[in-house]
C-alpha cells in the first residue's frame, strides 16, 4: 500500500533529523530515531514485498539501539505528517507502510549508499555555486545550505560553495532557482600554478572528516554477534551519517593514508554479513 504524500526534497531524509537519542562515541554522529527508522525501512522493507510493519516491532528494534518508546512513536507520527509513512490500523494496533514519496527518496539514497566508490568525485574540474537569500528567509537559507552539503559542496568563502567534479545542482534547489531563488552555478578548472589544495582545506575540515572515517571503522571493524536486524539498521544509519559528513574529495589533494577506502571495505564486509540474516529474521517476525 502506498500513498503520495506532500512533496519532500529527495535529500531531506538524510539531513533533517531531530535531537539525538543517545550520546555518540567520539567521532561518530549520534544515532537519531528518524535516521534509524529510515535506515530500517530502506534496507529491510523497501522492495521486499513485506506487509505493514507493526509499531511494536519498530519500538523493539530501536529500543535495542538506545531509543525510548516515546521517541520512536513521536518520530513515526512526525514522518507520517511529512508524507513518508502511512499508518494502517488493525483494531487498536497501528502498523506502517511506505508512501510512494518515501520509496522515491529511499531509492535515490540507495545509489549513493551502494556506489562503487561513494567518496570519489564524478567527473573532472569543480562545480561552484553562489546564492543569496534575504536575512528574513533564514529557513530557506538553512535548506539551501543543507542541500548543498549533502550534494558534496563545501563553503569556500562567504556566499561561494565548491564541490569536486561535475556535480548536479540538487533538484530542489534547481526548482527554487526557477521560482526566483538567486542562485548561480558554474563549472571551473584549476589554473596552472594555482593548486586547489588550499581550497579543499578551506572548504572542508579534513581532520574532522578523517576522525569520522576512523570512528566508523572502529565501530564496524569486526562482525556483529547481536541481533542482525538491529545491527544492519545501525550499520546503514552510521553509513548514511558518514556519507553526509564526508564529501567526494580528489585523491590528489588528500594524504596518502586517507581512510575512505577502508571505510568502504568495512561497510561492504559488514553489510554482506548482516543483510541476509536480517531480512530472514524480519520476515520470520512479521509472519508470527
Exposure on the CB side of residue 179, measured as CA atoms within 13 A: 8
Q: CA 122, CA 69: separation in Å to the nearest integer?
A: 41
Residues 49 and 164 reside in one and the same domain: no
> Same structural domain for residues 120 and 130?
no
CB 107 within 8 Å of CB 11: no
User: Which run of H or of E encompasses 168?
Assistant: none
Residues 42 and 87 in one domain: yes
Q: How many residues does the chain have?
A: 288
Question: The domain that contains 96 carries what CATH number?
Answer: 1.10.10.10
Mark whether 179 and 104 lie in a shared domain.
no
194 within domain boundaries: no
Same domain (yes/no): 132, 263: no
pLDDT at residue number 7: 42
pLDDT value at position 202? 86
Q: What is the pLDDT along the chain (288 residues), one digit of tens a residue?
A: 433 334 444 444 444 443 333 344 555 667 899 999 999 999 999 999 888 999 999 999 999 999 999 999 999 999 999 999 999 998 889 999 999 999 988 998 898 899 999 999 988 899 999 988 887 888 888 888 888 888 889 999 888 999 999 988 887 788 888 777 888 899 998 888 777 888 888 889 999 999 999 999 999 998 888 899 999 999 999 999 999 889 899 888 899 999 999 999 999 999 999 999 999 999 999 987
Residue 197 covered by a domain: no
- Residues 174 and 100 grouped into a single domain: no
Measuring CA to CA, which residue among 20, 27, 10 is closest to residue 214? 27
pTM of the model: 0.82
Helix-then-strand count for the chain, H and E:
10, 7
Note the pLDDT of residue 20: 37
Whether residue 195 is contained in a domain is answered as: no
> Do 84 and 5 reside in the same domain of the chain?
yes
* 6 occurs within a structural domain: yes
Q: Which domain holds residue 173?
A: 126-188
Rg for the chain (alpha carbons), in Å? 20
Q: What pLDDT, on the 0 to 100 scale, is given for residue 17? A: 40
Q: Is residue 198 part of a domain?
A: no
Are 260 and 227 in a shared domain? yes
Residue 124 to residue 187: CA distance in whole angstroms: 10
Same domain assignment for residues 110 and 147: no
* Strand-by-strand arrangement of the 126-132 sheet: 154-157, 160-164, 126-132, 182-188
Q: Do 240 and 109 form a contact (C-beta atoms < 8 A)?
A: yes
Has residue 34 been placed in a domain? Answer: yes
Close Cβ partners of 195 (under 8 Å, ≥ 6 residues apart): 253
Same domain, residue pair 31 and 57: yes
pLDDT reported for residue 26: 54
Amino acid at each position: 500500500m502506498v500513498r503520495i504524500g506532500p512533496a519532500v526534497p529527495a535529500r531531506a531524509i538524510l539531513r533533517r533529523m531531530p535531537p539525538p537519542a543517545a550520546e555518540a562515541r567520539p567521532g561518530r554522529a549520534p544515532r537519531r530515531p528518524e535516521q534509524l527508522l529510515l535506515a530500517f525501512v530502506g534496507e529491510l522493507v523497501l522492495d521486499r514485498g513485506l506487509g505493514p510493519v507493526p509499531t511494536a516491532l519498530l519500538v523493539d528494534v530501536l529500543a535495542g539501539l538506545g531509543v525510548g518508546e516515546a521517541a520512536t512513536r513521536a518520530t513515526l507520527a512526525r514522518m507520517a505528517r511529512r508524507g513518508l509513512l502511512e499508518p494502517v490500523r488493525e483494531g487498536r494496533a497501528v502498523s506502517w507502510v511506505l508512501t510512494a514519496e518515501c520509496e522515491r527518496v529511499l531509492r535515490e539514497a540507495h545509489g549513493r549508499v551502494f556506489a562503487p566508490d561513494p567518496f570519489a568525485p564524478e567527473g573532472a574540474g569543480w562545480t561552484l555555486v553562489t546564492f543569496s537569500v534575504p536575512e528574513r528567509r533564514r529557513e530557506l537559507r538553512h535548506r539551501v545550505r543543507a542541500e548543498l552539503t549533502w550534494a558534496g559542496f563545501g563553503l569556500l568563502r562567504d556566499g561561494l560553495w565548491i564541490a569536486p567534479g561535475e556535480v548536479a545542482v540538487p533538484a530542489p534547489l534547481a526548482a527554487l532557482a526557477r521560482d526566483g531563488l538567486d542562485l548561480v552555478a558554474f563549472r571551473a578548472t584549476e589554473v596552472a600554478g594555482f593548486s586547489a589544495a588550499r581550497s579543499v582545506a578551506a572548504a572542508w575540515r579534513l581532520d574532522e572528516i578523517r576522525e569520522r572515517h576512523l570512528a566508523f571503522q572502529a565501530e564496524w571493524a569486526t562482525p556483529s554477534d547481536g541481533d542482525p536486524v538491529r545491527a544492519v539498521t545501525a550499520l546503514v544509519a552510521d553509513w548514511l551519517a558518514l556519507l553526509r559528513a564526508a564529501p567526494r574529495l580528489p585523491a590528489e589533494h588528500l594524504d596518502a593514508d586517507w581512510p575512505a577506502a577502508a571505510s568502504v571495505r568495512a561497510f561492504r564486509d559488514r553489510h554482506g554479513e548482516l543483510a541476509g540474516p536480517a531480512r530472514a529474521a524480519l520476515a520470520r517476525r512479521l509472519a508470527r
